[in-house]
């Protein structure tokens, strides 16, 4: 089957060459056009090895569950729990009996709110301290001191200030997302090439024109990197912070399932959390690619 | 607009692996209104530094640059620069690159006039059809033409060119040299041009006077060679002109002597 498909592809390629007129990343495209017939095969190979990796982990898990840890659910238990959870994802029994999609949605909403605030605060702040040496010198000690602190340490502060556990969770996400955004944005803003700064000086750009046409475009790839990094960490931290805040969200669900002795649900939740994380990361990667290809000046 | 560089000193601090460098050593240069000057010399002689000092991008250690008698404090609307590596803003279209420069620091009421000028100069360099493209979508020659249009659109009194055509192929370079002369002489109010170049023919073809610069520890300006060729100049017939030949030989002699002295 694969072989015949490959053959068809081989015959088609010379008649309809892949679009080489575009200005897309030259070397990589050439490489692909030359190797076009084997592209499908290499993709299949990649998939096979990916499946192998998952298989190995599931196999080890089965062995551990069968020998070392009899309390650990087997892969089959985990799979069944996952199917069970996905059978009624939107059921809303009581405040603590929410479908898995609702729990994930609650967590995602908190992450997006905290992340949104971090963008609103972090990007302008990063641009400012990246473009201004004195501002950098002022902000740097504070940032360096607070950056290595686990965001969870801010949870009590959030509780005291906001008097509200879910609000405090959002606040923790805000703190989590803030540092990568500020630091990456500042690094991008500080790396405006000298010739572009000279253009702005010679042609006497005003502040607004400088920010709009020179500073932000140059910082954009770094900003997107910062967003991607902080979103990844935020999604990790939300699980932990919801174990503290309780009541709702996927982190609460994990902790609640453990307390109810339902470890199979914990495993199912881990898989779903991972999947959502992958989707989030892919979205930001796409955004990043757009800015990278547009920003290129040969 | 007259330009006077008076006893300018500029030293670059020692960096790792290299000692302190006295790049400009008490340099004096007077450029009359309407004059086209070529600055030529071996690498490291400070010709780009001098251009940046005139542009106001670099401060002098001592001495001053005077425009019509008043000292330069920084970049100003009376001077525009065409940079060596085009230096267009990558996210803006060719037209927006010209327009933003033409508009900047001008009152909102003058915007229409600035946009008009942008169009005029972009047309003059033959890029009006390509106005909506981004810099990375066009050739190096087109990018540099845009940079030339941008400089003229500011309507500077003095135009400063830093090896503007160095990275272009010979045919494109020749065409751009022609366009530049045309714009300077017939299409704009720009009077004075100072150009840094590595090209001996380019220096002679474009300039009224060639300023040969030398490396430390000798004097900054080794020699000034006038180019008494009438304008408009024809590239093809010019090379048979005995004045051209004499200028060429003299320039070669000075540069070779400087080369020998340097090593």
| Omega prior to A147 cis, within 30 of 0 | no
Query: Any chain A CB within 8 A of the CB of B51?
Result: no
User: In this complex, which of B83, B89, B136 lies closest to A298 when CB atoms are compared?
Assistant: B136
Quick check: A199 and B79 CB within 8 A?
A: no
A-chain residue closest to B81, CA distance: A202
Q: Round the average pLDDT of chain A to a whole number and report it.
A: 85
**Cross-chain residue pair B136–A296, CB shorter than 8 Å:** yes
- In chain A, what residues touch B89 (CB-CB under 8 Å)? 196, 199, 213-214, 217
Q: Closest CB to A297: pick one of B74, B90, B104.
A: B90
Q: Smallest CA–CA separation between A218 and chain B, in Å?
A: 9
By a Cβ cutoff of 8 Å, what residues of chain A touch chain B? 23, 195-196, 198-199, 201-206, 209, 213-214, 217, 294-298
Residue A23 pLDDT > 70: no
pLDDT beyond 50 at B94: yes
* β-pair type (B192-196, B36-41): parallel
Distance CA A57, CA A46 (A): 17
pLDDT at A296: 37
- Contact indicator for A28, A36 with CB cutoff of 8 Å: no
Q: Are A23 and B91 a contacting pair at CB < 8 A?
A: no
Determine the Cα–Cα distance for residues A111 and A173; give it in Å rounded to an integer.
Answer: 6
What are residue B39's DSSP bridge partners? B196, B211
The tens digit of pLDDT for each residue in B100-121 reads 999 986 777 788 899 999 999 9
Cβ–Cβ below 8 Å for B83 and A195: yes
Q: Is the pLDDT of residue A205 over 70?
A: yes
Over range B17-27, report the average pLDDT. 85
Residues of B whose CB is below 8 A from A214: 89
A196 contacts in chain B (CB < 8 Å): 87, 89
* Band of pLDDT at residue A7, cut at 50, 70 and 90: very low
Predicted confidence (pLDDT) per residue in A109-163, tens digit:
999 999 999 999 999 999 999 999 999 999 999 999 999 999 999 999 999 999 9
- Contact by Cβ (8 Å): A101, A112: no
pLDDT of B11 higher than 70? yes
Q: Which residue has the tokens 């298989």?
A: A55
| 0.85 surpassed by complex ipTM | yes
pLDDT at position B217 is 85
Distance (Å, whole) CA B135 – CA B137: 5
pLDDT for res A36 = 59
Q: Which of A202, A217, A221 to mutate to test the interface with B (most CBs of B within 10 A)?
A: A202
Q: What is the mean pLDDT of residues A46-63?
A: 95
pLDDT for A187: 94
**Measured between CB atoms, does B194 come within 8 Å of chain A?**
no
- Which of A196, A203, A211, A294 to mutate against chain B (most B CBs within 10 Å)? A203
Would you state the pLDDT for residue B71?
A: 93
Query: What integer best gives the mean pLDDT of chain B?
Result: 91
Model confidence at B64, pLDDT cuts 50, 70, 90, reads very high
B99 pLDDT band (50/70/90 cuts)?
very high
Is pLDDT of A87 > 80?
A: yes
Closest approach of B86 to chain A, Cα-based (Å): 9
Q: How many CB pairs under 8 A join A and B?
A: 63
Rounded CA-CA distance B149/B126 in Å is 10
Out of B57, B91, B150, closest to residue A201 by CB: B57
Nearest Cα neighbor of B202 from B172, B159, B223 is B172
Q: What local confidence, expressed as pLDDT, does residue A298 receive?
A: 29
Residue in B74, B136, B154 closest to A203 by CB: B154
Secondary structure in 3-state letters for chain A: CHHHHHHHHHHHHHHCCCCCCCCCCHHHHHHHHHCHHHHHHHHHHHHHHHHHHHHHHHHHHHHHHHCCCCCCCCHHHHHHHHHHHHHCCCCECCCCCECHHHHHHHHHHHHHHHHHHHHHHHHHHHHHHHHCHHHHHHHHHHHHHHCCCCHHHHHHHHHHHHCCHHHHHHHHHHHHHHHHHHHHHHHHHHCCCHHHHHHHHHCCCCHHHHHHHHHHHHHHHHHHHHHHHHHHHHHHHHHHHHHHHCCCCHHHHHHHHHHCCCHHHHHHHHHHHHHHHHHHHHHHHHHHHHHHHHHCCC
Decide if pLDDT at B168 tops 90.
no
pLDDT at B72: 92
Q: Which residue has the higher pLDDT, A24 or B93?
A: B93
Query: Which residues in chain B have Cβ-Cβ distances shorter than 8 Å to A202?
Result: 55, 57, 75, 79-81
Please list, in sequence order, all residues whose beta carbon lies within 8 angstroms of the beta carbon of residue B30, skipping any fewer than 6 positions away.
Answer: B2, B3, B4, B5
User: What mean pLDDT do residues B24-48 have?
Assistant: 93
Q: What is the pLDDT of residues A243-288, one digit of tens each?
A: 999 889 999 999 999 999 999 999 999 999 999 999 999 998 888 8
If pLDDT is split at 50, 70 and 90, which confidence band does B187 have?
confident
Q: How many CB atoms lie within 10 A of CB B124?
A: 20
Residue B159 and residue B153: Cα distance in Å, rounded?
Answer: 11
Tell me the mean pLDDT in the region B35-59: 94
Nearest by CB to B87, from A23, A199, A298: name it.
A199
Poorest-pLDDT segment among A17-26, B44-53, B227-236? A17-26
Structural tokens at position B83: 């940079």
Start-to-end Cα distance in chain A: 43
How many angstroms away from the CA of A71 is the closest CA of chain B?
59
Rounded distance between C-alpha atoms, residue B74 and residue B58, angstroms: 8
User: If you search the block for the tokens 């106005």, which residue do you land on?
Assistant: B131
Tell me the shortest Cα–Cα distance from B106 to chain A, in angstroms: 10
β-strands B36-41, B209-213: how paired?
parallel
HEC letters along chain B: CCEEEEEEEEEECCECCECCEEEEEEEEEEECCCCEEEEEECCCCCHHHHHHHHHCCCCCCEEEEEECCEECCCCCCCEEEECCCCCCCCCCCHHHHHHHHHHCCCCHHHHHHHHHHHHHHHHHCCCHHHCCCCHHHCCHHHHHHHHHHHHHHCCCCEEEEECCCCCCCHHHHHHHHHHHHHHHHHHCCCCEEEEECCCHHHHHHHCCEEEEECCCCCCCEEEEEECCCCCCCCHHHHCCCHHHHHHHHHHHHHHHHHHHHHC
């Amino acid at each position: 089957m694969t072989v015949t498909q490959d053959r068809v592809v081989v015959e088609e390629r010379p008649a309809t060459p892949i679009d080489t007129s575009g200005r897309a990343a030259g070397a990589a495209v050439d490489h692909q056009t030359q190797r076009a017939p084997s592209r499908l095969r290499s993709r299949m190979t990649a998939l096979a090895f990916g499946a192998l990796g998952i298989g190995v982990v599931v196999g080890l898990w089965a062995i551990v569950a069968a020998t070392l840890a009899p309390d650990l659910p087997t892969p089959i238990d985990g799979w069944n729990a996952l199917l069970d959870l996905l059978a009624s994802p939107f059921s809303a029994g009581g405040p603590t009996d929410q479908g898995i999609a609702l729990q994930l949605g609650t967590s995602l909403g908190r992450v997006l709110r905290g992340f949104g605030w971090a963008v609103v605060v972090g990007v302008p702040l990063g641009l400012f301290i990246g473009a201004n040496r004195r501002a950098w010198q002022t902000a740097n000690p504070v940032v360096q001191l607070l950056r290595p602190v686990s965001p969870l340490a801010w949870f009590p502060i959030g509780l005291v200030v906001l008097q509200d556990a879910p609000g405090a969770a959002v606040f923790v996400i805000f703190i989590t997302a803030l540092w990568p955004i500020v630091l990456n944005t500042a690094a991008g803003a500080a790396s405006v090439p000298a010739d572009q700064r000279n253009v702005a000086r010679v042609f006497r750009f005003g502040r607004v024109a400088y920010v709009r046409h020179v500073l932000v475009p140059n910082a954009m790839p770094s900003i997107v990197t910062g967003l991607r990094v902080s979103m990844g960490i935020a999604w990790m931290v939300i699980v932990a912070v919801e174990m503290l805040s309780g009541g709702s969200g996927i982190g609460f669900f994990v902790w609640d399932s453990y307390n109810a002795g339902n470890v199979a649900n914990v495993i199912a939740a881990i898989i779903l959390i991972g999947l959502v994380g992958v989707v989030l990361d892919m979205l930001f990667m796409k955004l990043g690619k757009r800015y990278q290809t547009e920003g290129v000046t040969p | 607009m007259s330009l006077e560089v008076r006893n300018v000193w500029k030293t670059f601090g020692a960096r790792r692996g290299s000692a302190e460098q006295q790049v400009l050593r008490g340099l004096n240069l007077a450029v009359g209104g309407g004059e086209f000057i070529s600055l030529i010399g071996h690498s490291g002689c400070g010709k780009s530094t001098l251009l940046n000092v005139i542009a106001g991008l670099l401060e002098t250690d001592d001495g001053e640059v005077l425009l019509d008698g008043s000292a330069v404090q920084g970049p100003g609307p009376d001077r525009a620069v065409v940079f060596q590596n085009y230096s267009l803003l990558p996210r803006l279209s060719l037209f927006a690159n010209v327009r933003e420069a033409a508009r900047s620091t001008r009152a909102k009421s003058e915007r229409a006039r600035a946009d008009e000028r942008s169009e005029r100069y972009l047309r003059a360099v033959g890029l009006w059809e390509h106005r909506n493209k981004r810099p990375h979508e066009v050739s190096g020659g087109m990018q540099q033409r845009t940079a030339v249009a941008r400089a003229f659109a500011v309507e500077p009194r003095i135009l400063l060119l830093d090896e503007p055509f160095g990275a272009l192929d010979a045919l494109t370079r020749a065409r751009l040299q022609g366009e530049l002369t045309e714009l300077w002489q017939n299409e704009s109010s720009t009077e004075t041009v100072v150009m840094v170049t590595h090209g001996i023919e380019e220096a002679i073809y474009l300039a009224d006077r060639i300023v040969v610069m030398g490396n430390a520890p000798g004097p900054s300006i080794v020699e000034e060679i006038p180019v008494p060729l009438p304008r408009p100049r024809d590239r093809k017939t010019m090379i048979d002109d005995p004045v051209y030949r004499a200028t060429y030989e003299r320039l070669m002699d000075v540069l070779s002597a400087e080369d020998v002295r340097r090593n």
